[in-house]
Amino acid sequence: MTRIPAPFPANRPRRLRATPALRSMVRENTLTPSDFIWPVFLMEGTDAETPVPSMPGVVRRTVDRVGAAAKDAWDLGIPAICLFPYTAMEHRTEDCAMAWDPDNLTNRAIREIKSACPEIAVMTDIALDPYNINGHDGFVENGEIVNDRTVEALVKMALAQAASGADILGPSDMMDGRIAAIRGALESEGYQKVTILSYTAKYASSFYGPFRDAVGATGALTGDKNTYQMDPANSDEAMRLVARDLAEGADMVMVKPGMPYLDICRRVKTEFGVPTFAYQVSGEYAMLQAAAQNGWLDGKKVMMESLMCFKRAGCDGILTYFAPEAAKVLNG
């Protein structure tokens, strides 16, 4: 409980803000490169990178370049990298079979990173949207995103990623029952050590726009994701989903987006006390970068402030496109 120790002037809170030394002594939270998970985009081809226009500073890279990127991240102190594949429209199908192909972009990239930099933790995304002709995270039947058939496909996708060497699986699809199904399959197939970071409180947000450009889903997506992603108006529901995902075998949980949902981060940490992550999503990144490019905000300062806010809100870590840049600032 917060108490004011004495009335003014005996109590002058500004005393402890007077110098950098005093401020650093009473600082309640810290940010280090080990707080970051770095999301990277993959594309087909060799020895190439292309910029993502709506995410200044972010590129898609070919698989042969991702090992070096992972090594750079590890050398900066970043413990984990998260992979997202770009799939052109002509390679998207209704059956999404590429999602569990052992040689899809993600699975090749996992193996590439594991040989170039075995120390870094490799995280993946589990959802059908990069492979789906209509851009949805699940199969679509008669205009409906079907749950149980999608979960079966997600399990196949999870096992292919685990077989390629993934350390952390990130189911981002928001189907019901997927954590239990994936955990059960991992246990019975010999992947007991593979962890699950569940996208538990994932909201139906418009802040994902630039990401959908980055993975080639913008043109593909028909309709919205409101029947599976959460209503931004809800908070108690997020607590029920955290309880459920933990009961089904999630090791860590995530709140997404990040900055507009810090209240959810705080509630999850306070009510459950489990490893809690936030995803500072593409739209948050784009807003800060756009304002910085216009000279309206100090880009470096708002980057660091925005990341510290997640720690203050109770997060153990942050998925952020700023990871390498912020790590460089922190490393001086």
Across 183-251, the runs of DSSP E, i.e. the strands, are: 195-202
Q: Which DSSP category does 203 fall into?
A: B
Which of 71, 114, 156, 202 is catalytic? The answer is: 202
Count CB atoms within 10 A of the CB of residue 80. 23
Stretch that binds ligand PBG, among 16-24, 29-37, 41-49, 124-132 (CB under 6 A): 124-132
CB 279 within 8 A of CB 322: no
Q: Does 289 bind ligand PBG (CB under 6 A)?
A: no
In this complex, which beta carbon is closest to ligand PBG, that of residue 17 or of residue 222? 222
Q: Kindly tell me which of 11 and 284 has the beta carbon lying closer to ligand PBG.
A: 284
Closer by beta carbon to ligand PBG, 116 or else 280: 280
Selected catalytic residue, list 225, 256, 269, 311: 256
Kindly tell me which of 74 and 131 has the beta carbon lying closer to ligand PBG. 131
- For the question of residue 156 being annotated catalytic, the response is no
Parallel, antiparallel, or unpaired for β 36-43 and 80-85?
parallel
Q: Does 254 bind ligand PBG (CB under 6 A)?
A: no
Percentage helix, strand, coil for the chain under 3-state DSSP, each rounded to 5: 45, 20, 40
304/288 Cα distance (integer angstroms): 11
Residue 281 touches ligand PBG, criterion: CB under 6 A: yes
Binding letters toward ligand PBG, positions 85-114, x by CB under 6 A: ------------------------------
Listing DSSP states for 47-74 in one string gives S-EEE-TTSTT-EEEEHHHHHHHHHHHH
Binder of ligand PBG out of 35, 125, 213, 248 (CB under 6 A):
125
Do 157 and 211 form a contact (C-beta atoms < 8 A)?
A: no
Our finding on whether 282 is near ligand PBG (CB under 6 A) is yes
The contacts of residue 27 (CB under 8 Å, 6+ apart) are none
Active site residue 225: no
- Contact call for residue 241 and ligand PBG (CB under 6 A): no
- Exactly one of 36, 41, 105, 137 binds ligand PBG (CB under 6 A); which one? 137
Q: How far is the CB of 22 from ligand PBG (least distance, A)?
A: 38
Contact 70, 114 (CB under 8 A): no
- Peptide bond preceding 39: is omega within 30 degrees of 0, i.e. cis? no
The smaller minimum CB distance to ligand PBG, of residues 150 and 172, is found at: 172
Helix (H) or strand (E) holding 128: none
Taking the C-alpha atoms of residue 319 and residue 44, their distance in angstroms, rounded to an integer, is 24
Q: How far is CA 179 from CA 96, 245, 247, 293, in A?
A: 20, 6, 9, 40
The 200-229 site mask, x for binding ligand PBG (CB under 6 A), equals --------x--xx------------x----
Q: How far is the CB of 68 from ligand PBG (least distance, A)?
A: 23
Within 10 angstroms of residue 72's Cβ, the number of other Cβ atoms is 14
The answer to whether residue 172 forms part of the interface with ligand PBG (CB under 6 A) is: yes
Question: Which residue number, 208 or 322, has a Cβ lying nearer to ligand PBG?
Answer: 208
Nearest approach in angstroms of CB 15 to ligand PBG is 42
Rule CB under 6 A: say whether 36 interacts with ligand PBG.
no
Task: Give the side-chain half-sphere CA count within 13 A for 142.
Answer: 0
Kindly tell me which of 168 and 281 has the beta carbon lying closer to ligand PBG: 281
Contacts with ligand PBG, residue ranges (CB under 6 A): 125, 127, 129, 137, 172, 208, 211-212, 225, 281-282
**Catalytic residue list:** 202, 256
